Chains A and B, each alone.
Chain A
Amino acid sequence: MAIKISSGHLAEIRKHGEETYPYECCGLLLGKEQAGVKVLQAVRRVENSREDSRHNRYLIPPQEIVRGERYARENGMDVIGFYHSHPDHPARPSGYDLDHAWPWYSYIIVSIEQGKAADLNSWLMQEDRTGFDQEEIIKEG
């Protein structure tokens, strides 16, 4: 599986991460799977409303995902994944993330170093739930 992303959408994700620095940003990735490739068609920002809660906080509550899925369906798309930023930390998932993921979805992480977007990677959870593999990003436009 790979994900095709336009340079405009990549810039949008990076910009969101820079805007919310030093806090994390998060959002939904909407699009369609075509011939085994996920094609990103829209990025939907989600407000991180739980900055106060340091323990087991949820970045994207289920109600936001329900709303995002409804919006996607109405516009002929699906939720194809999620993104969030890691302020001053690498663009890779934690072991903890394994307990909170499903296969197939793209989990994009953008590292924000000192307020500037750095590495951006997409991750796929392995089918047996034991780890993440880096997913190919096909850049277009």
Chain B
Amino acid sequence: MAVKVLIPTALRQYAGNNDTVSVEASNVGEALSSLTSQYPDLKKHLFNNEGKLRNFVNVYVNDDDIRYLSQESTPLKEADVISIVPSIAGGTDNWRR
């Protein structure tokens, strides 16, 4: 089914300067892989070298974080909206002392 992915400002340059991209997918994992096969340059900013979502990258389906749903197997309905949202982590404890 057709769902919309909202692209954060920082990543639009890797997604043809689009703020939203429509993809056909039945779950979140499929939506993300369809997105990154359309726009391969997005991949390294969303996934780490092991192919897992980077830990500061959060994915929401409508208003819900997929971590509290079924992660990347979270099913999608027609017209769902997927948001890709960073969280900003403080790493100071790792380098200060």
Q: Using CB atoms and an 8 Å cutoff, list the residues of chain A in contact with chain B.
A: 24, 26, 33, 54-62, 65-66, 69, 78-80, 82, 84, 86, 89, 94-97, 99-105, 129
A105 and B10 in contact, given A58-B88, A62-B87 (Cβ under 8 angstroms): yes
Q: Using CB atoms and an 8 Å cutoff, list the residues of chain B in contact with chain A.
A: 8-11, 13, 44-45, 54-56, 58, 60, 63, 65, 83, 85-96
A58 contacts B90, CB within 8 Å?
A: yes
The 10 closest A-B pairs by CB, nearest first: A96-B91, A60-B88, A62-B58, A94-B95, A104-B10, A102-B10, A100-B56, A78-B9, A62-B85, A59-B90
CB-based A-B contact count at 8 angstroms? 86
B11 contacts A102, CB within 8 Å?
A: yes
Query: Interface residues of B: mostly helix, strand, loop or mixed?
Result: mixed
A66 contacts B85, CB within 8 Å?
A: yes
A129 neighbours in B (Cβ, 8 Å)? 44-45
20 further interface pairs, Cβ-Cβ under 8 Å (given A58-B89, A59-B89, A100-B55)? A26-B90, A33-B9, A57-B93, A59-B90, A62-B58, A65-B88, A66-B60, A66-B63, A66-B85, A86-B92, A94-B91, A94-B95, A96-B91, A99-B91, A100-B87, A101-B56, A102-B8, A102-B10, A103-B10, A104-B9
List 30 A–B pairs whose Cβ atoms lie within 8 Å, in order of A's numbering. A24-B90, A57-B93, A58-B90, A60-B87, A60-B88, A62-B86, A65-B85, A65-B87, A65-B88, A66-B85, A79-B8, A79-B9, A80-B9, A82-B88, A84-B88, A89-B96, A94-B94, A96-B89, A96-B95, A99-B56, A100-B87, A100-B88, A101-B56, A102-B10, A103-B10, A103-B45, A104-B10, A104-B11, A105-B10, A129-B45
From residue B60, how far is it (CB to closest CB) to chain A in Å? 7
A61 contacts B87, CB within 8 Å?
A: yes
A84 neighbours in B (Cβ, 8 Å)? 88, 90
B44 and chain A: residue at smallest CB distance: A129
A24 contacts B92, CB within 8 Å?
A: yes
B91 contacts A100, CB within 8 Å?
A: yes
A100 neighbours in B (Cβ, 8 Å)? 54-56, 86-89, 91
A59 contacts B88, CB within 8 Å?
A: yes
B13 neighbours in A (Cβ, 8 Å)? 103-104
B19 and chain A: residue at smallest CB distance: A78
